[in-house]
Every structure is written in C-alpha cells, then in structure tokens.
Amino acid sequence: MVLYTTPFPNSCLSALHTVSWAFIFPCYWLLDRLLALFIPVPCQKNQLLCIVLFMPIYLGLLVTSLPFAFLGFLFWSPLQCARRPYVYSWLEDKGPAGGAALLREWKGTGPGKSFCFATANVCLLPDSLARHNNVFNTQVRAKEIGHRIRNGASRPQIKIYIDSPTNTSISAASFSSLVSPQGDGIARAVPGSIKRTASVDYKGNGGRHPSDEAANGLASGDAVDCSNLENACIVRIGGDEGSRHPEVDDPATGGQTRNGAGGGPRGQTPNHSQRDGDSGSLGSPSASRESLVKARAGLDGGSGEPGATYSKAPHKASVVKKAAARRKRHPDEVFDHEISAFFPANLDFLCLQEVFDKRAASTLKNQLHGYFEYILYDVGVYGCQGRCCYKCLNSGLFFASRYPIMDVAYHCYPNGKGFDSLASKGVLFLKVQVGSTPQDQRIVGYITCTHLHAPEDDSAIRCEQLDMLLEWLADFRKSTSSSSTANPEELVAFDIVCGDLNFDNCSSDDKLEQQHSLFTRYKDPCRLGPGEEKPWAIGTMLDQDGLNDEDVSTPDNLQKVLESEEGRREYLAFPISKSPGACQKGRKDVLKGNGRRIDYMLYAEEGLCPDWKAEVEEFSFITQLSSLTDHLPVAMRLMVSTGEEEA
C-alpha cells in the first residue's frame, strides 16, 4: 500500500488549500483568542483588566478578517472532498537504531521478543476549548509533551546482575535509595501493591556514552558490559569471587543511547527484549545497599551528587534486575505493574488522542521524530463527508512507530451527536512490520487506535461505535493479509486495540459498554470482569480542578500522590452514578480503589501465528505528562513467544 505523505494528490490542490487556509487562519486565531479571554487560567491575574483591554482589539480585528475568511472558506470547503485522511511522515534513519535495522533484529526464532505500546489523551485542542479542561497554552504544551515522551522513551535501560550465590535480589529499601530524586539515600516505603519506577539519574555529557560514565564511576571489582546492539547497559555487582549468576552467560546487550534533544543525533534506540525474569520487583529481599549506592555514584559521574531536577530535562536510566525466576509485584499477577514517572524505555509504538490542533500536531511530530522514524498525523476528515455531519476538527488521532508502517485505514464514526459530532472522531487501523523470518516471511502486527463518543449518557452510541470498530477491523485484516493457510507469507505477532474509550469498568451507568463483545475478543490486563477491576489498577482520568496544584505539578509529585489511597481520592476523577440506592456502597468501594479508567490497552490472544503466544510483561500508569493533560498515559510491554525453548 502506498502511504500518503501529502494531504492532497497533487501540488495544485495543495497550493490552493494553503492559500485558502491563509485567508481563514487570522479569523480562526482571533476567535480562539477572544473566547479564551473569558476562561481564566490559574496563573492569570486581573482577568477583568485583560478583557477590557484586549476584547475591543480582538473583536475589531475579527470583524475585519471575516470577509477574507468567508472568501477562503468558499475554496477550502470543497477541497476537503479531495483531501486524504492522514499525512504520513518518514524521517529515515540509516543507523543501527533505524527501522530497517530493527527489522533485521528479529527473525521469528528463539524464545521471543518484547514490544512496548503506549497510549495517551493529550488534550491538544484550540486554546479556548482546552481551557475548559483546565489546561492552556496548547502550542507550548505540544512541544513539551513531545520533549518529555522522547526523553522518557530514549533513556537507556540498565540491568543489574547480583553475582552472589546467596543474594540474588534487590530490596525495596535499596531501590528507594537508588531512585530517590533528592539523592538523600533515605529508604521510602511504597504502599500497597502499586510500585514505583526504579530509575537512576542520567544526563548527557557532551556525547559521552552512558556506559562510559557507569564504567568510570563503578568501584573496583564491579563490571559493566555494553555493546552496540541494544539500549541496555549491564552492571554486575560482584559477590563472592568466582561466583556467577545463573544467567550471566546471556548475550550482552548494548548501551548506546542517542539523545534527540537539541540538534544532536536522533534519540532512537533499538528494542529491548526482556526475557523471563526481567523485572524490577521492589518487593524482594535484600541486596547490599552499599553496592547499589556505589553504582549510583558511578552513573552520576562518580560525584555522588543528586541528579538534576526534571525541569532541567535529565534523561533517566531505567534499572532492571534479572533474577532466576520472574518476581511478581502482586501475588495474583504474572506480570509487573507500576505507577511510573517516565514513559517506558525503548517504547516502540505510541498512540495519541485529541491532537486536534494542526499546528500542535506539526510541533509534536517534529519533536517525536527525534525518536520515532514513522509518524501519522492530521488524521481525519473535514467538511461534509458521506453520512457524517459537517466536521470542523479532525479525529485527533496521532500514531508514531519505530517500525515500518505497511498499511493504514481510517474510518469516521457516523453516529456522533452534539458537540462531539463536530470532530471527525473515528478509528485508525495500522499494520506494521516488526521482523522477517529466514524464509522471507514478514512478521507483522496490527494496531487499532480510537477515540469514542464522549457524553456520559450516550452508552448506546459508544456500543454502536465498538460494533463498527470490530467490523472494520475484520475487513482491514482481510484486505491487507497476503497469506494463505497453505503458504503463509506473513506471521502475525500481535493485535492491539487502544485509545480513549470514554467509559470505565466501575461505573454502574457504563454496564452496557462493560459487557461488550470487544472484551471477549481482546484481553484487558487491568480487568477481572464486567464492573470489576484488578486491585492495582487506577483511574486514568484526573480531576480537572486539581491539575495545576503544586502537589501534582511534576511527574515525581504526581507519582507519589497516586501511590496513596488518599491522593487518588483527591486527584483522580471518580464515577458519579445516577442510581442513588444501590450505588452508594459501590461508590464507597470505588473510592477505596482507584477512579475512572477510560484509557485502555487491549491485546488479542487469538488470531496470531500458530504456536505463538502474546503475554503481558509490564503494565504502567505514567505520570510524565503531569500538568500537561487531564489524562494519565498507560503503557504495556508485550512478550511474543514463538514456542521455541531458549538454548
């Protein structure tokens, strides 16, 4: 399939669209600024004075621009019939972290490979609309969102091996001293079963390799193994002389990191495949605290000084330990789950919603191209399209990938109502290639990104949209598959559905959606059943009134707040049921739990290559976009096992 790199099929239409939009834009911008005057922001003082001073200016200029906007609209509106439903951007990287190199990395052999997915609603609306959600300065936020995602995903991973026959785990106290943002070495207890990210500070240093810093700073007897193949640095903390961890003979993985900040090299990093036992469990007993403090001192350049605060945009090196067997963060789970202050290292696929503003989408694209090679943006339709009513905004969907995109399809939901119908909300289907076998069979994956109808009372509309999603997805897979049962040309590694579904699994008013067949075809790692969440799952919708409080103004602060039940009760949005009697007890239970989780990451266990199996390795609720959006991003690392035993 040919992917569209321009919104129009020829340069003549593109030029005409550019001119017509130039006539419309001043009116659009002035109207946005005029409406924004009447919606205060927390840091704004003397709002009345601003209205008195600027309203006559904006209003006068708006009236002046109306004739030009009308003339531009006469040309712009018919052009939308010829507009393509997305724009594809590819910034080629021929280095070892590029998409072509990643395809050669996995041949579909061995024990398997892990892939990391993330989804987030970033609320990049025109500023006058974004202020209704208590966020503002859309263009500034777009740049900062891209910067934070890129820095979080491109940080190096560090594996810590404990070479001791009697001590093969890392204690919660040791991890706490390692990850303390203040570097005070004080062990902090983590309440409940929700665990914090284990990370150490890492800052770029004039192009110095992160493994060089670690090697130079480690005490004598400690070892660092790094290579150029993967973004992981292995730190061995010595125990008894001659003793070895049972798995230290695994191939060493690399430590090369390329920071995309500023004008330096792009920050793409090859995918890290975590094998069985790769976890950062905080609940296991006791490695030497002194050993980990030495490791931290080495990573900080040997000074032992605390790392820079987040405002100085340091990179973080995620710390992972490898034990003989997987450590569970919760006794009933087979995968790790946590509240993380950072996006996962080596993030492979990113799905965003509510990237409605075109300038913000372009800014975000430019920022994320420092890490992701393939990006789809400006997804959706405008004007009158088929059965849909007139669309003033696009779908808000945005997709970024480190792996090549093979096929794309977009569908607009035709049943939107009210204000939601002015945006072309819909679903984006993608087929990506993640490897190839020695027999030249392509290894592919399917990703579906969507944003459903928002008004809480319209459950029937959301269920209709889910029905359409499943039907369109089946058609997409059928139309893009080039395989036959007898002679398969493609092997399907994963099938993911994610996005903002605008309903939760704890509200009694969302029972219709909770019982939809989507959840029988796809598995939700956070869900026990209809209306029943797993105890560690938390809400992803923040209380808009508290978005700008100092207590949650930074990723670390928001992470700490959400680790406590009291903090979740104060800063997460909870369902408000219209059924008073039966729901009071349910609401009390929810308040003990964890708020409205409306952002989903689902995966299929069926429809994959025969004998292959997809299992969740990690699931994260991410606070890195604190104060920039009213949603918590979520991320999932999926291990695709091929059925072959590790040699």
Active site amino acids: 631
CA distance linking residue 627 with residue 295, whole number of Å: 32
Q: What amino acid is encoded at 431 in this protein?
A: K
Query: What are the residues facing 336 on neighbouring strands?
Result: 618
Q: Which two tokens stand for residue 211?
A: 């493994």
Unique residue bearing structure tokens 């004075």: 49
CA distance linking residue 383 with residue 80, whole number of Å: 6
Unique residue bearing structure tokens 């945009």: 313
Unique residue bearing structure tokens 């190199």: 101
CA distance linking residue 291 with residue 356, whole number of Å: 49
Q: CA 323, 620, 355 angle in degrees (round to 5)?
A: 145
Q: Write the burial class of residue 303 (CB in 10 Å: 0-12 exposed, 13-18 middle, 19+ buried).
A: exposed
CA distance linking residue 133 with residue 353, whole number of Å: 15
Indicate the SS3 state at residue 641.
strand
Parallel, antiparallel, or unpaired for β 157-163 and 278-279?
A: unpaired
**DSSP secondary structure of 461-505:** HHHHHHHHHHHHHHHHHHHH----SSS-SEEEEEEEEEEE-S--S
Parallel, antiparallel, or unpaired for β 613-622 and 634-641?
A: antiparallel
**In 3D, which of 57, 321, 96, 47 has the Cα closest to residue 199?**
321
Phi, psi of 552 (to 5 degrees): -125, 25
CA distance linking residue 198 with residue 340, whole number of Å: 8
Q: Which long-range contacts (CB under 8 A, 24 or more apart) does 100-105 make?
A: 100/404, 101/270, 102/270, 102/271, 102/402, 102/403, 102/434, 103/403, 103/404, 103/433, 103/434, 103/435, 103/436, 104/436, 105/229, 105/270, 105/271, 105/435
Q: Which two tokens stand for residue 347?
A: 């993030």
User: Crossing angle, helix 210-217 and helix 289-299, to 10 degrees?
Assistant: 130
Within 13 A of 497's CA, how many CA atoms are on the CB side?
Answer: 22
Q: Write the burial class of residue 486 (CB in 10 Å: 0-12 exposed, 13-18 middle, 19+ buried).
A: exposed
Q: Which two tokens stand for residue 276?
A: 């069985």
Chain centroid, CA 96 distance in Å: 23
471 φ/ψ sector (left φ>0, alpha ψ -120 to 50, else beta): alpha
Non-local (6+) Cβ contacts of 264 within 8 A are: 204, 207, 258
Contact between 49 and 74 under an 8 Å Cβ cutoff? The reply is no
Contact between 209 and 237 under an 8 Å Cβ cutoff? The reply is no
Contact between 65 and 27 under an 8 Å Cβ cutoff? The reply is yes
